[in-house]
Amino acid sequence: EDTAARRLVLWSLLFFAVWSAASPLSTTLPLFLVLWLMRSVTQSQDGEHWHDGRSLDTLPPLIMDHLWLFLMLAVGFAVLRLLQLLLLPVIACRLLPKVRAGLDVPLWHWRAQVASIKLRWATAASLELADASIQASYFRLLGARVGRGSSMSEQTLLPDTLSIGKNCFFASGNTMTSVVVDQGRMRVPHVTHIKDGCFLGNENHIAEGIQENTFVGLRTWVPTMPEDGGSLFGNPAMKFGRPPAAEGTAIGTVPQKVWHHFSTSIIDVFFWRILHSCFTGVALIVGRLVFPEYSGQWWPLEFVAEVAIFAALSVLTWLLVPVGFSNLIYNDRMPLSAPYYSTVITRWFNVNKIRRVFTKPLRTSGSFWDATMLRLIGVHVGKRFFSPNDDVMIDPPFGRLGDDVTVDYDGQVRQHSFEDDVLKWGPFRVGNNANIGQAAMVAMSECADDVSLLRGSVTWKGQVLEAGVYEGAPAAPVDEDFNFANGA
Protein backbone atom coordinates (compact mmCIF):
# COMPACT_ATOMS: atom_id res chain seq x y z
CA GLU A 1 0.00 0.00 0.00
CA ASP A 2 2.86 2.39 0.78
CA THR A 3 4.42 1.67 -2.61
CA ALA A 4 1.12 2.31 -4.38
CA ALA A 5 0.65 5.57 -2.47
CA ARG A 6 4.15 6.77 -3.36
CA ARG A 7 3.58 5.86 -7.00
CA LEU A 8 0.32 7.81 -6.99
CA VAL A 9 2.01 10.87 -5.52
CA LEU A 10 4.83 10.70 -8.08
CA TRP A 11 2.42 10.37 -11.02
CA SER A 12 0.37 13.29 -9.73
CA LEU A 13 3.47 15.47 -9.31
CA LEU A 14 4.68 14.52 -12.80
CA PHE A 15 1.31 15.36 -14.31
CA PHE A 16 1.26 18.70 -12.50
CA ALA A 17 4.81 19.55 -13.64
CA VAL A 18 4.08 18.73 -17.29
CA TRP A 19 0.86 20.70 -17.20
CA SER A 20 2.53 23.70 -15.53
CA ALA A 21 5.14 23.79 -18.30
CA ALA A 22 2.72 23.25 -21.18
CA SER A 23 -0.03 25.65 -20.11
CA PRO A 24 1.87 28.95 -20.65
CA LEU A 25 3.27 27.65 -23.94
CA SER A 26 -0.20 26.84 -25.25
CA THR A 27 -1.30 30.46 -24.93
CA THR A 28 1.63 31.80 -26.99
CA LEU A 29 2.02 28.98 -29.50
CA PRO A 30 -0.16 30.60 -32.23
CA LEU A 31 1.85 33.83 -32.05
CA PHE A 32 5.18 31.98 -32.28
CA LEU A 33 3.86 30.01 -35.26
CA VAL A 34 2.76 33.12 -37.15
CA LEU A 35 6.02 34.95 -36.40
CA TRP A 36 8.02 31.95 -37.60
CA LEU A 37 6.07 31.86 -40.86
CA MET A 38 6.60 35.59 -41.43
CA ARG A 39 10.31 35.32 -40.69
CA SER A 40 10.63 32.42 -43.12
CA VAL A 41 9.14 34.66 -45.82
CA THR A 42 11.54 37.55 -45.20
CA GLN A 43 14.73 35.66 -44.46
CA SER A 44 15.53 34.60 -48.01
CA GLN A 45 15.33 38.16 -49.37
CA ASP A 46 16.79 40.19 -46.53
CA GLY A 47 19.56 37.90 -45.40
CA GLU A 48 21.17 38.27 -42.00
CA HIS A 49 22.32 41.92 -42.18
CA TRP A 50 19.11 43.89 -42.58
CA HIS A 51 19.76 45.68 -39.25
CA ASP A 52 22.71 48.01 -39.85
CA GLY A 53 22.96 49.29 -36.27
CA ARG A 54 22.64 53.01 -37.14
CA SER A 55 19.00 53.21 -36.07
CA LEU A 56 16.72 51.43 -33.67
CA ASP A 57 13.69 49.26 -34.43
CA THR A 58 14.40 48.95 -38.16
CA LEU A 59 12.28 46.30 -39.88
CA PRO A 60 13.40 44.17 -42.85
CA PRO A 61 12.90 45.98 -46.20
CA LEU A 62 10.38 43.38 -47.37
CA ILE A 63 8.19 44.05 -44.33
CA MET A 64 8.48 47.85 -44.71
CA ASP A 65 7.52 47.54 -48.39
CA HIS A 66 4.59 45.23 -47.60
CA LEU A 67 3.10 46.46 -44.35
CA TRP A 68 -0.10 44.56 -45.10
CA LEU A 69 1.80 41.57 -43.68
CA PHE A 70 1.00 43.05 -40.27
CA LEU A 71 -2.67 42.46 -41.05
CA MET A 72 -1.89 38.87 -41.97
CA LEU A 73 0.01 38.51 -38.70
CA ALA A 74 -2.89 39.85 -36.65
CA VAL A 75 -5.55 37.85 -38.50
CA GLY A 76 -3.47 34.68 -38.47
CA PHE A 77 -2.91 34.95 -34.74
CA ALA A 78 -6.62 35.55 -34.08
CA VAL A 79 -7.71 32.55 -36.17
CA LEU A 80 -5.10 30.20 -34.71
CA ARG A 81 -5.87 31.35 -31.17
CA LEU A 82 -9.58 30.74 -31.72
CA LEU A 83 -9.03 27.31 -33.24
CA GLN A 84 -6.74 26.42 -30.35
CA LEU A 85 -9.36 27.56 -27.83
CA LEU A 86 -12.00 25.36 -29.46
CA LEU A 87 -9.95 22.29 -30.41
CA LEU A 88 -7.79 21.78 -27.31
CA PRO A 89 -10.80 21.06 -25.05
CA VAL A 90 -12.05 18.44 -27.52
CA ILE A 91 -8.64 16.74 -27.59
CA ALA A 92 -8.31 16.88 -23.81
CA CYS A 93 -11.83 15.61 -23.12
CA ARG A 94 -11.44 12.76 -25.61
CA LEU A 95 -7.90 11.61 -24.83
CA LEU A 96 -7.54 12.16 -21.08
CA PRO A 97 -9.03 9.56 -18.72
CA LYS A 98 -12.77 9.85 -18.21
CA VAL A 99 -14.05 11.52 -15.03
CA ARG A 100 -16.72 9.33 -13.45
CA ALA A 101 -19.38 10.03 -10.86
CA GLY A 102 -18.29 9.04 -7.36
CA LEU A 103 -14.86 10.64 -7.67
CA ASP A 104 -13.52 11.70 -4.26
CA VAL A 105 -9.78 12.44 -4.28
CA PRO A 106 -7.34 15.05 -2.91
CA LEU A 107 -6.84 18.13 -5.08
CA TRP A 108 -3.26 17.11 -5.86
CA HIS A 109 -4.42 13.78 -7.27
CA TRP A 110 -3.94 13.49 -11.03
CA ARG A 111 -7.61 12.59 -11.53
CA ALA A 112 -8.62 15.83 -9.81
CA GLN A 113 -6.26 17.71 -12.11
CA VAL A 114 -7.76 16.00 -15.16
CA ALA A 115 -11.25 16.98 -14.01
CA SER A 116 -10.06 20.55 -13.43
CA ILE A 117 -8.56 20.80 -16.93
CA LYS A 118 -11.71 19.46 -18.58
CA LEU A 119 -13.98 21.73 -16.54
CA ARG A 120 -11.90 24.85 -17.17
CA TRP A 121 -11.25 24.31 -20.88
CA ALA A 122 -14.77 23.19 -21.74
CA THR A 123 -16.24 26.18 -19.92
CA ALA A 124 -13.85 28.62 -21.63
CA ALA A 125 -14.70 27.22 -25.06
CA SER A 126 -18.42 27.36 -24.32
CA LEU A 127 -18.02 30.99 -23.24
CA GLU A 128 -16.30 31.78 -26.55
CA LEU A 129 -19.09 30.16 -28.58
CA ALA A 130 -21.66 32.13 -26.55
CA ASP A 131 -25.04 32.02 -28.35
CA ALA A 132 -23.82 30.01 -31.35
CA SER A 133 -26.27 27.45 -32.68
CA ILE A 134 -23.42 24.90 -32.81
CA GLN A 135 -23.10 24.98 -29.01
CA ALA A 136 -25.04 21.71 -28.54
CA SER A 137 -23.00 19.95 -31.25
CA TYR A 138 -19.82 21.19 -29.60
CA PHE A 139 -20.95 19.73 -26.27
CA ARG A 140 -21.30 16.38 -28.03
CA LEU A 141 -17.73 16.69 -29.34
CA LEU A 142 -16.59 17.23 -25.76
CA GLY A 143 -18.26 13.99 -24.70
CA ALA A 144 -21.50 15.24 -23.15
CA ARG A 145 -24.74 13.50 -24.09
CA VAL A 146 -27.16 15.99 -25.66
CA GLY A 147 -30.56 15.10 -27.11
CA ARG A 148 -31.95 16.36 -30.40
CA GLY A 149 -33.63 19.74 -30.55
CA SER A 150 -31.74 21.17 -27.58
CA SER A 151 -30.09 24.60 -27.79
CA MET A 152 -28.09 26.61 -25.31
CA SER A 153 -25.79 29.52 -24.66
CA GLU A 154 -22.52 29.39 -22.68
CA GLN A 155 -22.50 27.05 -19.68
CA THR A 156 -20.17 25.81 -16.96
CA LEU A 157 -19.88 22.05 -17.39
CA LEU A 158 -17.88 18.88 -16.87
CA PRO A 159 -18.67 17.04 -20.13
CA ASP A 160 -17.97 13.51 -18.84
CA THR A 161 -20.77 13.73 -16.26
CA LEU A 162 -23.40 15.70 -18.19
CA SER A 163 -26.51 14.28 -19.85
CA ILE A 164 -29.09 16.57 -21.50
CA GLY A 165 -32.41 15.37 -22.89
CA LYS A 166 -34.35 16.40 -25.99
CA ASN A 167 -35.86 19.82 -26.74
CA CYS A 168 -34.17 21.66 -23.89
CA PHE A 169 -33.32 25.36 -23.88
CA PHE A 170 -30.65 26.89 -21.63
CA ALA A 171 -29.91 30.60 -21.38
CA SER A 172 -26.44 31.82 -20.43
CA GLY A 173 -24.39 31.43 -17.27
CA ASN A 174 -25.74 28.16 -15.84
CA THR A 175 -23.60 25.66 -13.94
CA MET A 176 -24.39 22.03 -14.78
CA THR A 177 -22.10 19.87 -12.70
CA SER A 178 -22.02 18.32 -9.24
CA VAL A 179 -18.30 19.08 -8.72
CA VAL A 180 -17.55 20.09 -5.12
CA VAL A 181 -14.14 21.39 -4.00
CA ASP A 182 -13.88 21.59 -0.22
CA GLN A 183 -11.25 21.00 2.46
CA GLY A 184 -8.56 20.08 -0.05
CA ARG A 185 -10.62 17.45 -1.85
CA MET A 186 -12.50 17.26 -5.14
CA ARG A 187 -15.74 15.32 -5.25
CA VAL A 188 -18.01 14.52 -8.19
CA PRO A 189 -20.90 12.75 -6.47
CA HIS A 190 -23.40 12.56 -9.36
CA VAL A 191 -23.94 12.54 -13.08
CA THR A 192 -25.92 15.68 -13.90
CA HIS A 193 -28.99 14.40 -15.74
CA ILE A 194 -31.31 17.02 -17.26
CA LYS A 195 -34.33 15.33 -18.79
CA ASP A 196 -36.42 16.21 -21.84
CA GLY A 197 -38.15 19.55 -22.37
CA CYS A 198 -36.38 21.52 -19.63
CA PHE A 199 -35.76 25.26 -19.54
CA LEU A 200 -32.97 27.01 -17.64
CA GLY A 201 -32.86 30.77 -17.25
CA ASN A 202 -29.64 32.52 -16.24
CA GLU A 203 -27.02 31.70 -13.60
CA ASN A 204 -28.71 28.63 -12.15
CA HIS A 205 -26.83 25.73 -10.55
CA ILE A 206 -28.08 22.23 -11.34
CA ALA A 207 -26.07 19.58 -9.50
CA GLU A 208 -27.79 16.18 -9.75
CA GLY A 209 -30.38 17.05 -12.39
CA ILE A 210 -34.04 17.95 -12.98
CA GLN A 211 -37.12 16.07 -14.14
CA GLU A 212 -38.89 16.38 -17.50
CA ASN A 213 -40.46 19.71 -18.45
CA THR A 214 -38.91 21.56 -15.52
CA PHE A 215 -38.69 25.35 -15.72
CA VAL A 216 -35.85 26.89 -13.69
CA GLY A 217 -35.84 30.67 -13.39
CA LEU A 218 -32.94 32.90 -12.39
CA ARG A 219 -30.08 32.23 -9.93
CA THR A 220 -31.79 29.10 -8.63
CA TRP A 221 -29.91 26.35 -6.82
CA VAL A 222 -31.14 22.78 -7.33
CA PRO A 223 -28.73 20.52 -5.38
CA THR A 224 -30.72 17.25 -5.70
CA MET A 225 -33.02 15.70 -8.26
CA PRO A 226 -36.61 16.93 -7.63
CA GLU A 227 -39.32 14.31 -7.29
CA ASP A 228 -41.30 15.80 -10.17
CA GLY A 229 -41.19 18.61 -12.72
CA GLY A 230 -42.67 22.08 -12.47
CA SER A 231 -41.36 25.63 -12.18
CA LEU A 232 -38.56 26.48 -9.74
CA PHE A 233 -37.13 29.80 -8.60
CA GLY A 234 -35.06 31.08 -5.71
CA ASN A 235 -32.46 29.89 -3.26
CA PRO A 236 -33.48 27.48 -1.88
CA ALA A 237 -35.63 26.58 -4.89
CA MET A 238 -39.38 26.97 -4.48
CA LYS A 239 -42.17 25.97 -6.84
CA PHE A 240 -44.46 28.47 -8.53
CA GLY A 241 -47.16 28.40 -11.18
CA ARG A 242 -46.83 29.88 -14.65
CA PRO A 243 -49.11 29.98 -17.71
CA PRO A 244 -48.60 27.45 -20.52
CA ALA A 245 -46.29 28.40 -23.37
CA ALA A 246 -47.68 29.76 -26.62
CA GLU A 247 -47.36 27.43 -29.60
CA GLY A 248 -45.44 28.16 -32.77
CA THR A 249 -42.98 30.69 -31.38
CA ALA A 250 -39.94 28.57 -32.39
CA ILE A 251 -41.15 27.97 -35.94
CA GLY A 252 -39.21 29.87 -38.59
CA THR A 253 -38.91 29.89 -42.36
CA VAL A 254 -35.96 28.24 -44.09
CA PRO A 255 -34.24 31.61 -44.84
CA GLN A 256 -34.71 32.66 -41.21
CA LYS A 257 -33.12 29.46 -39.92
CA VAL A 258 -30.24 29.65 -42.40
CA TRP A 259 -29.49 33.23 -41.38
CA HIS A 260 -29.79 32.34 -37.69
CA HIS A 261 -27.21 29.56 -37.98
CA PHE A 262 -24.86 31.60 -40.19
CA SER A 263 -25.06 34.69 -37.99
CA THR A 264 -24.58 32.93 -34.64
CA SER A 265 -22.07 30.24 -35.70
CA ILE A 266 -19.97 32.02 -38.36
CA ILE A 267 -20.26 35.77 -37.90
CA ASP A 268 -20.35 35.77 -34.10
CA VAL A 269 -17.74 33.06 -33.61
CA PHE A 270 -15.19 34.09 -36.26
CA PHE A 271 -15.91 37.43 -37.93
CA TRP A 272 -15.82 39.74 -34.89
CA ARG A 273 -12.55 38.23 -33.65
CA ILE A 274 -10.99 38.66 -37.10
CA LEU A 275 -12.29 42.23 -37.38
CA HIS A 276 -10.86 43.08 -33.98
CA SER A 277 -7.49 41.68 -35.02
CA CYS A 278 -7.60 43.79 -38.20
CA PHE A 279 -7.84 46.96 -36.12
CA THR A 280 -4.79 45.78 -34.19
CA GLY A 281 -2.96 45.28 -37.48
CA VAL A 282 -4.00 48.75 -38.65
CA ALA A 283 -2.51 50.24 -35.49
CA LEU A 284 0.78 48.47 -36.22
CA ILE A 285 0.77 49.74 -39.82
CA VAL A 286 0.03 53.34 -38.83
CA GLY A 287 2.79 53.23 -36.23
CA ARG A 288 5.31 51.95 -38.79
CA LEU A 289 4.27 54.55 -41.37
CA VAL A 290 4.61 57.44 -38.93
CA PHE A 291 7.79 56.10 -37.31
CA PRO A 292 9.54 53.74 -39.76
CA GLU A 293 12.54 53.79 -37.44
CA TYR A 294 13.48 55.27 -34.08
CA SER A 295 16.29 57.81 -33.99
CA GLY A 296 19.04 57.34 -31.47
CA GLN A 297 18.32 60.66 -29.72
CA TRP A 298 14.53 60.95 -29.75
CA TRP A 299 13.49 57.32 -29.51
CA PRO A 300 11.84 57.63 -26.03
CA LEU A 301 9.48 60.35 -27.29
CA GLU A 302 8.84 58.45 -30.52
CA PHE A 303 8.01 55.36 -28.51
CA VAL A 304 5.51 57.32 -26.39
CA ALA A 305 3.98 58.79 -29.55
CA GLU A 306 3.56 55.34 -31.07
CA VAL A 307 1.89 54.08 -27.89
CA ALA A 308 -0.45 57.09 -28.16
CA ILE A 309 -1.31 56.01 -31.71
CA PHE A 310 -2.28 52.57 -30.44
CA ALA A 311 -4.38 54.11 -27.65
CA ALA A 312 -6.13 56.53 -30.00
CA LEU A 313 -6.98 53.80 -32.50
CA SER A 314 -8.23 51.60 -29.67
CA VAL A 315 -10.64 54.32 -28.53
CA LEU A 316 -11.68 55.02 -32.13
CA THR A 317 -12.34 51.32 -32.73
CA TRP A 318 -14.53 51.12 -29.63
CA LEU A 319 -16.51 54.20 -30.70
CA LEU A 320 -17.04 52.83 -34.21
CA VAL A 321 -18.01 49.22 -33.50
CA PRO A 322 -19.39 48.61 -29.96
CA VAL A 323 -20.92 52.10 -29.81
CA GLY A 324 -21.76 53.34 -33.30
CA PHE A 325 -22.53 50.13 -35.18
CA SER A 326 -24.06 48.35 -32.18
CA ASN A 327 -26.38 51.25 -31.36
CA LEU A 328 -27.47 51.24 -35.00
CA ILE A 329 -28.65 47.61 -34.98
CA TYR A 330 -29.64 47.34 -31.30
CA ASN A 331 -31.58 50.18 -29.65
CA ASP A 332 -34.80 50.94 -27.78
CA ARG A 333 -36.74 51.32 -31.04
CA MET A 334 -36.65 47.54 -31.52
CA PRO A 335 -39.82 45.49 -30.91
CA LEU A 336 -40.28 44.66 -27.24
CA SER A 337 -41.17 41.06 -28.10
CA ALA A 338 -39.60 38.85 -30.78
CA PRO A 339 -39.78 35.10 -31.66
CA TYR A 340 -36.69 32.91 -31.64
CA TYR A 341 -35.79 33.04 -35.35
CA SER A 342 -36.42 36.76 -35.71
CA THR A 343 -33.58 38.99 -36.93
CA VAL A 344 -34.14 40.94 -33.71
CA ILE A 345 -32.67 37.95 -31.87
CA THR A 346 -29.66 37.61 -34.16
CA ARG A 347 -28.91 41.34 -33.88
CA TRP A 348 -29.08 41.04 -30.12
CA PHE A 349 -26.66 38.10 -30.27
CA ASN A 350 -24.38 40.11 -32.58
CA VAL A 351 -24.13 43.03 -30.19
CA ASN A 352 -23.58 40.81 -27.16
CA LYS A 353 -20.64 39.19 -28.93
CA ILE A 354 -19.29 42.50 -30.27
CA ARG A 355 -19.16 44.05 -26.82
CA ARG A 356 -17.49 40.96 -25.42
CA VAL A 357 -14.77 41.07 -28.11
CA PHE A 358 -14.33 44.85 -28.35
CA THR A 359 -13.89 45.62 -24.67
CA LYS A 360 -13.79 49.14 -23.28
CA PRO A 361 -10.40 50.78 -23.91
CA LEU A 362 -10.54 52.46 -20.50
CA ARG A 363 -11.60 50.99 -17.16
CA THR A 364 -14.08 53.61 -15.98
CA SER A 365 -15.99 51.57 -13.38
CA GLY A 366 -16.01 53.33 -10.03
CA SER A 367 -15.19 56.68 -11.62
CA PHE A 368 -17.03 59.82 -12.70
CA TRP A 369 -16.78 58.69 -16.34
CA ASP A 370 -18.69 55.45 -15.84
CA ALA A 371 -22.07 57.10 -16.35
CA THR A 372 -20.81 58.69 -19.57
CA MET A 373 -19.68 55.32 -20.92
CA LEU A 374 -23.06 53.81 -20.06
CA ARG A 375 -24.85 56.63 -21.86
CA LEU A 376 -22.75 55.98 -24.97
CA ILE A 377 -24.11 52.42 -25.21
CA GLY A 378 -27.71 53.50 -24.65
CA VAL A 379 -28.40 53.48 -20.91
CA HIS A 380 -30.45 56.37 -19.49
CA VAL A 381 -28.41 57.31 -16.41
CA GLY A 382 -29.26 59.99 -13.86
CA LYS A 383 -26.91 62.12 -11.81
CA ARG A 384 -24.29 60.84 -9.36
CA PHE A 385 -24.43 57.19 -10.44
CA PHE A 386 -21.79 54.94 -8.88
CA SER A 387 -20.75 51.33 -9.37
CA PRO A 388 -17.42 49.47 -9.25
CA ASN A 389 -18.67 46.96 -11.85
CA ASP A 390 -17.90 46.76 -15.56
CA ASP A 391 -21.24 45.21 -16.60
CA VAL A 392 -23.95 46.77 -14.48
CA MET A 393 -26.65 46.88 -17.14
CA ILE A 394 -27.75 43.88 -19.16
CA ASP A 395 -29.59 45.15 -22.28
CA PRO A 396 -28.29 48.75 -22.14
CA PRO A 397 -30.81 50.37 -24.55
CA PHE A 398 -33.64 49.55 -22.17
CA GLY A 399 -31.87 50.57 -18.96
CA ARG A 400 -33.38 53.43 -16.95
CA LEU A 401 -31.50 54.58 -13.85
CA GLY A 402 -32.54 57.53 -11.69
CA ASP A 403 -30.39 59.92 -9.68
CA ASP A 404 -28.06 58.77 -6.88
CA VAL A 405 -28.23 55.08 -7.82
CA THR A 406 -25.52 52.82 -6.36
CA VAL A 407 -24.81 49.28 -7.59
CA ASP A 408 -22.35 47.34 -5.43
CA TYR A 409 -19.88 44.66 -6.53
CA ASP A 410 -21.40 42.02 -8.87
CA GLY A 411 -24.81 43.70 -8.72
CA GLN A 412 -26.77 43.89 -11.99
CA VAL A 413 -29.92 45.22 -13.59
CA ARG A 414 -31.54 42.87 -16.12
CA GLN A 415 -34.04 44.08 -18.70
CA HIS A 416 -35.11 40.95 -20.62
CA SER A 417 -36.65 37.52 -20.31
CA PHE A 418 -36.17 34.77 -22.89
CA GLU A 419 -38.65 32.00 -22.20
CA ASP A 420 -41.03 29.97 -24.36
CA ASP A 421 -38.81 30.89 -27.35
CA VAL A 422 -39.80 34.55 -27.12
CA LEU A 423 -37.46 37.41 -26.17
CA LYS A 424 -39.15 40.19 -24.20
CA TRP A 425 -37.63 43.48 -23.07
CA GLY A 426 -38.56 46.21 -20.60
CA PRO A 427 -37.79 49.00 -20.20
CA PHE A 428 -37.87 48.89 -16.41
CA ARG A 429 -36.85 51.82 -14.26
CA VAL A 430 -34.70 51.94 -11.12
CA GLY A 431 -35.77 54.99 -9.13
CA ASN A 432 -33.80 57.71 -7.40
CA ASN A 433 -31.60 56.91 -4.41
CA ALA A 434 -31.77 53.16 -5.04
CA ASN A 435 -29.11 50.85 -3.66
CA ILE A 436 -28.42 47.43 -5.19
CA GLY A 437 -26.22 45.37 -2.90
CA GLN A 438 -23.41 42.91 -3.59
CA ALA A 439 -24.39 40.22 -6.14
CA ALA A 440 -28.01 41.43 -6.05
CA MET A 441 -30.08 41.62 -9.21
CA VAL A 442 -33.06 43.69 -10.27
CA ALA A 443 -34.55 41.34 -12.86
CA MET A 444 -37.31 42.72 -15.11
CA SER A 445 -38.70 44.72 -12.20
CA GLU A 446 -39.63 48.31 -11.40
CA CYS A 447 -38.00 50.03 -8.43
CA ALA A 448 -39.52 53.12 -6.85
CA ASP A 449 -37.39 55.77 -5.16
CA ASP A 450 -35.45 54.83 -2.00
CA VAL A 451 -35.31 51.08 -2.62
CA SER A 452 -32.51 49.02 -1.07
CA LEU A 453 -31.96 45.49 -2.37
CA LEU A 454 -29.66 43.59 -0.02
CA ARG A 455 -26.75 41.44 -1.12
CA GLY A 456 -27.51 38.25 -3.02
CA SER A 457 -31.17 39.16 -3.48
CA VAL A 458 -33.07 38.65 -6.76
CA THR A 459 -36.42 40.15 -7.72
CA TRP A 460 -39.38 38.43 -9.36
CA LYS A 461 -40.04 39.18 -13.00
CA GLY A 462 -42.63 41.95 -13.11
CA GLN A 463 -42.27 42.76 -9.42
CA VAL A 464 -42.79 46.38 -8.35
CA LEU A 465 -40.62 47.40 -5.40
CA GLU A 466 -41.93 50.27 -3.32
CA ALA A 467 -39.66 52.33 -1.07
CA GLY A 468 -38.03 50.13 1.55
CA VAL A 469 -35.51 47.35 2.11
CA TYR A 470 -35.77 43.99 0.33
CA GLU A 471 -33.94 40.72 0.81
CA GLY A 472 -33.98 37.16 -0.48
CA ALA A 473 -34.51 35.26 -3.70
CA PRO A 474 -37.22 36.10 -4.52
CA ALA A 475 -36.83 39.48 -2.85
CA ALA A 476 -39.34 40.33 -0.14
CA PRO A 477 -39.71 43.35 2.18
CA VAL A 478 -37.93 43.04 5.50
CA ASP A 479 -39.34 44.17 8.83
CA GLU A 480 -39.62 47.89 9.42
CA ASP A 481 -37.28 47.67 12.40
CA PHE A 482 -34.59 46.01 10.26
CA ASN A 483 -31.14 47.32 11.09
CA PHE A 484 -29.73 48.18 7.68
CA ALA A 485 -26.21 48.65 8.99
CA ASN A 486 -26.15 45.12 10.36
CA GLY A 487 -27.90 43.45 7.46
CA ALA A 488 -26.28 45.07 4.47
DSSP element (H, E) containing 78: helix 68-95
- Kindly state whether residues 419 and 446 are assigned to the same domain: yes
pLDDT band at 1 (very low <50, low <70, confident <90, very high): low
- What is d(CA 121, CA 131) in angstroms, rounded to the nearest whole number? 17
Q: What is the mean predicted confidence (pLDDT) over 164-182?
A: 95
Least trusted range by pLDDT, from 195-199, 210-214, 283-287: 283-287
d(CA 174, CA 418): 14
User: How far, in Å, CA of 395 to CA of 334, rounded?
Assistant: 12
**Cβ pair 409, 392 in contact under 8 A:** no
Rounded CA-CA distance 97/423 in Å is 40
Q: In this predicted structure, what is the pLDDT of residue 485?
A: 43
**Selection from 165, 78, 92 nearest residue 122 by Cα:** 92
Among residues 140, 134, 180, 188, which one has the least CA distance to residue 164?
A: 140
- Please check whether residue 279 lies inside any domain of the structure: yes
Q: Model confidence at 24, in pLDDT bands (50, 70, 90)?
A: low
Q: Distance between CA atoms of 335 and 338, rounded to whole angstroms?
A: 7
Per-residue pLDDT, 375: 95
Cβ contacts of 67-71, under 8 Å, gap ≥ 24 = 67/284, 67/285, 67/288, 67/289, 68/285, 69/38, 69/41, 70/281, 70/284, 70/285, 70/288, 71/278, 71/281, 71/282, 71/285
Contact call for residues 216 and 200 (beta carbons, < 8 A):
yes
Q: Which of 430, 353, 426 is nearest to 392 (CA)?
A: 430
With beta carbons less than 8 A apart as the criterion, state whether 178 and 192 touch: yes
Domain CATH for 381: 2.160.10.10
pTM of the model: 0.85
| Same domain? 267 vs 322 | yes
The tally of domains found in the chain comes to 3
Q: Examine residue 102 and state whether it is found in any structural domain, yes or no.
A: yes
pLDDT at residue 487, as a whole number: 44
* Position 82, amino acid: L
Based on the domain organization, do 216 and 253 belong to the same domain? no
Same domain, 342 and 384: no
Sheet of strand 422-425: strand arrangement: 337-339, 422-425, 416-419
Q: Which of 359, 362, 278 is nearest to 312 (CA)?
A: 362
- pLDDT, position 246: 61
**What is the C-alpha separation between 144 and 137, in angstroms, rounded?**
9
Are residues 215 and 277 both part of a single domain? Answer: no
Q: Which of 160, 100, 159, 164 is nearest to 126 (CA)?
A: 159
Do both 261 and 227 map to the same domain?
Answer: no
For residue 41, the model assigns a pLDDT of: 54
328 and 283: one domain? yes
Rounded distance, CA 248 to CA 471, Å?
Answer: 38
257 and 120 assigned to the same domain: no
Instruction: Tell me if residue 175 falls in helix, strand or coil.
Output: strand
Amino acid in position 32: F
Residues 177 and 191 in one domain: yes
Q: Is residue 28 part of a domain?
A: yes
Report yes or no on 74 lying in a domain: yes
Residue 79 belongs to a domain: yes
Query: For the chain, how far is it from start to end, CA to CA, in angstroms?
Result: 52
Whether 372 and 349 share a structural domain: no
Report the phi/psi class of residue 462: left, alpha or beta, with left for phi > 0 and alpha for psi in -120 to 50: left
Residue type, 481: D
Average of per-residue pLDDT across 288-312: 81
Give the separation between CA 154 and CA 371, rounded to whole angstroms.
Answer: 28
Q: Is the dihedral of CA 71, 75, 80, 81 positive or negative?
A: positive
50 in a structural domain: no
What backbone torsions phi and psi does residue 186 show, to the nearest 5 degrees?
-115, 130
Contact 91, 37 (CB under 8 A): no
Q: 367 and 356 share a domain?
A: no
Residue 49 lies in a domain: no
Kindly tell me if the per-residue pLDDT of 86 is higher than 70: yes
Tens-digit pLDDT profile for residues 211-254: 999 999 999 999 999 988 889 998 888 888 877 766 656 678 99
Structural domain containing residue 233: 2-42+59-240
Nearest to 93 by CA among 55, 122, 57: 122
Residue 179 CA to residue 196 CA, distance in Å, equals 23
Identify residue 341 by its one-letter amino acid code: Y
Q: For the chain, what is the mean pLDDT?
A: 86
Distance, in Å, from the CA atom of 180 to the CA atom of 184, rounded to the nearest integer, reads 10
Provide the 3-class DSSP secondary structure of residue 363: coil
pLDDT single digits (tens) 434-486? 999 999 999 999 999 999 999 999 998 889 999 999 998 889 998 755 544 44
Q: 273 and 235 in one domain?
A: no
Q: Give, in order, the Cα–Cα distances in Å from 278 to each of 93, 272, 282.
A: 32, 10, 6
pLDDT tens per residue, range 376-410 = 999 999 999 999 998 899 999 999 999 999 999 99
Burial 128-146 (b: 16+ CB within 10 A, else e): bbbbbbbbbebbebbbbeb
CA atoms of 309 and 81, how far apart (whole Å):
25
Shortest CA distance to 381 belongs to which of 364, 403, 398? 403
Give domain status of residue 54, yes or no: no
